[in-house]
A and B are shown apart, each in its own frame.
Chain A
């Protein structure tokens, strides 16, 4: 392959991807094959796609490896249940070690950007200033990152929701906030001419969501990047403190059977599989961990969904999924709220705990419901670890709330309930493992007192995480951080991390925009050092 690639035409729709089926049907590859490239990127989601585009545009040979399948938007069915089977990691059942916190993650070309809710949130300057000051990250000041935020904002069509993107659920939240005197605003989203299908979580069939499937990946391909789906990277090869490539297995996405083994020789390896998968890969690779922080400091930004029933028919599931946010408590308490009510299948993850007629009557009131997702900041006390051999081990995610974190979750859920009662809700369904329904704001505190911390807060609130972070934190001190301010592992030249693992401290804002900014930053630092990294 030539060092500098000639730009080719970008496909109008879809992305050329080599799948397990392609590999199986190509006898020239055999059961084991090698690829040489300059840069191999592990993961094709928010971070990996940005890195691939940046480095391919700079003229590098780029290979992107994605463990999930290729599920092009032309095949989206707008059935959430089907999508869960096809592209959600572990069919949306990726859990912590006590099986009471759900980690929702995309496992497909485009990663979580395919199933995300389009929320783009630029964090307050105070957060970036704190990161910069406390972790010696001179490049992370608000002023220095501002151009990157602007670039991503332009690339992703980030805009403030317009009036037609505020649906009935969001209007109830606005109404409640106005009565309570809480600050709210329309959400900023990365969507181009939203078609208001309400199917964000099942993938955007009309290609309006600016997922990696329709932005950075086809752009990267336009500069010659290559993509493999169904390709699970087992380890990074490290020789003499230098990354030299990766080993991977190509698996049939339906049966899990191994189709081929792949060896990639590369001068730069970028891990961008997210804050769960990246530390697991580095642990499987036995990457040096001088600080002892690899896989630690896991923050979840846990959220629960509070559902409210109104007397009138809202059809709150129609229109743009996320309309408004409540940021009154963002800087004071670390709480953030987003209006949202998705497909009927989504209701299984929250709210109702009835059986028989109770459950069915709850579902029959679907068109009367509104939802508010209550996010609260946590303290980054969790961990991710790989237990066992490279090929037969398993991941363990450890996170249970401390009493302080438990109280934050409880408080944020209570605030969401108050907002709905102020908007006229006649009943609120609390997101707890025990069945809690509240029919009056005057009963709210008493009812919430029934949720006891118990044993490590287990099976109290039905918490979810869309945004794990912090497991390979970035910093200037080798004794406190896993990667340096360039995103490179302290003791392994040529091995970079470019995803939410980098966050040096938990953040209360939605992380998507910041993840893409950090990915761009890491890619630019790689390019700035091209003379020392590339032969």
Chain B
């Protein structure tokens, strides 16, 4: 097994990002932002995220991006699952999580959503992510997943957070045949604290 960069990504995966190569200057600037999003402060000059994006919880713009991201990632109603936007409070759960984030993680999170929203400006005719139709929005996310290392990091991180905040809801579990909590249902008796051990020095 070697480590040569022999990757050959099918054209359909990268189609969404194709125009980007013709706008090298935009790519450089946006990708630098993405790299910072990914926490690469040790490699690049540190830059503060846009000040208006730093709040205790999701800002209105972040909530809008998060909602659109949720719709594209989790088109649940098409699969007979509880809606990821109107039934399961995916973005609400995310908001609660954001409220407990450390300042550093919060900064990264804010910048990640900013980059997600504005990154398509360079490759989708100056459109924001939230303005893309369903097909283009999905193409965009797939293209990010197959993109450069920091694009992969960006979309993977956001996807994990959003998906976690959907699948954590027990209303989604019947479709998975997942049992959920069982101790009370099974009548398992808690054993309580363990008796102190017998040792060479005597019990306890």
Contact = CB atoms under 8 A, between A and B. Distances in A.
B95 interface: no
A11 B196 CA distance: 11
Contact of B193 (A57, A207, A363, A454): A207
A448 B1 contact: yes
A355 B183 contact: no
Interface residues of B, number: 76
A192 B189 CA distance: 13
B152 A195 contact: no
A179 interface: no
B103 to A, nearest CB: 8
A364 B176 CA distance: 5
Nearest to B164: A348
B160 interface: yes
State the majority secondary structure of interface residues on A.
loop
Interface string A219-260: 100100000000000000000000000000000000000000
B199 interface: yes
A400 B1 CA distance: 21
Given A206-B189, A450-B7, A458 B156 contact: no
A14 B193 CA distance: 7
B39 A366 contact: no
A155 B197 contact: yes
A206 B38 contact: no
Interface in B165-182: 165, 167-170, 172-173, 175-182
A206 B196 CA distance: 18
Given A98-B40, A344-B176, A197 B183 contact: yes
A98 B196 contact: no
B96 interface: yes
A528 interface: no
Contacts of B169: 81
A206 B149 contact: no
Given A219-B196, A357-B78, A79 B170 contact: yes
B152 A93 contact: no
A90 B102 contact: yes
A187 to B, nearest CB: 20
Nearest to A57: B204
B164 A81 contact: yes
Given A13-B192, A98-B39, A345-B168, A359 B150 contact: no
Interface centre among B161, B172, B191 (most CB of A within 10 A): B191
Contacts of A85: 96-97, 100
A100 interface: yes
A407 B3 contact: yes
B75 interface: yes
A29 B149 CA distance: 52
B74 A349 contact: no
A183 interface: no
Interface in B26-63: 38-43
A355 B156 contact: no
Contacts of A36: none
Contacts of B153: 99-100, 433, 458-459
B153 to A, nearest CB: 4
B193 A218 contact: yes
Given A315-B177, A344-B173, A359 B73 contact: yes
A193 B191 contact: yes
A357 B138 CA distance: 10
B81 interface: yes
Contact of A349 (B40, B101, B160): B160
B5 A452 contact: yes
A348 B38 contact: no
A349 B188 CA distance: 30
B194 A192 contact: yes
A92 to B, nearest CB: 9
B163 A99 contact: no
B5 A206 contact: no
Contacts of A453: 3
Contacts of A343: 178
A459 B149 contact: yes
A55 to B, nearest CB: 13
A367 B72 contact: no
A99 B157 contact: yes
Given A206-B191, A433-B149, A452 B4 contact: yes
A205 interface: yes
Interface in A133-170: 151, 154-155, 157
A81 B168 contact: yes
B167 A348 contact: yes
Interface stretch (A70-78, A300-308, A494-502, A510-518): A70-78
Nearest to A414: B1
A435 B149 contact: no
A315 B9 CA distance: 33
A434 B146 contact: yes
A398 B42 contact: yes
Contact of B108 (A11, A99, A347): A99
A445 interface: yes
A67 interface: no
Contact of B190 (A77, A82, A205, A398): A205
A99 B43 CA distance: 12
A206 B190 contact: yes
Interface of B: 1-7, 38-43, 72-76, 78-79, 81, 93, 96-97, 100-105, 108, 138, 141-142, 145-146, 149-150, 152-153, 156-157, 159-161, 163-165, 167-170, 172-173, 175-183, 186, 188-194, 196-199, 204
11 contacts: A7-B204, A12-B193, A81-B164, A93-B101, A198-B182, A344-B178, A356-B73, A361-B79, A367-B178, A406-B3, A449-B2
Given A208-B191, A361-B79, A364-B175, 19 more contacts: A57-B204, A78-B183, A81-B164, A82-B168, A85-B97, A95-B39, A100-B153, A192-B191, A205-B183, A207-B191, A207-B192, A214-B191, A345-B164, A348-B160, A355-B73, A360-B76, A394-B103, A406-B3, A459-B156
- 3 closest pairs, A vs B, by CB? A81-B168, A99-B39, A78-B181
